[in-house]
Amino acid sequence: MNTSIEMKKKILLYNYFGNYIITRNAVADIFERLNNAKGEEIIMDFNKIEFISRSSADEYIKRKLAFNKRLVEKNISPNALAMFFLVIKQSKLKEPIITITS
Q: Are 43 and 11 in contact (CB under 8 A)?
A: yes
Residue 6 confidence class, pLDDT cut points 50, 70, 90: very low
Q: What is the pLDDT of residue 7?
A: 44
Residue type for position 84: F
Considering only the C-alpha atoms of the chain, give the largest distance between any 2 of them, rounded to a whole number of Å.
Answer: 40
Say how many C-beta atoms besides its own lie within 10 A of residue 80's C-beta: 24
Q: Quote the CA–CA distance of 12 and 43 in Å, as a whole number.
A: 8
pLDDT tens track for 23-63 = 999 999 999 989 878 778 899 999 999 999 999 999 999 99
How many CB atoms within 10 Å of residue 13?
A: 24
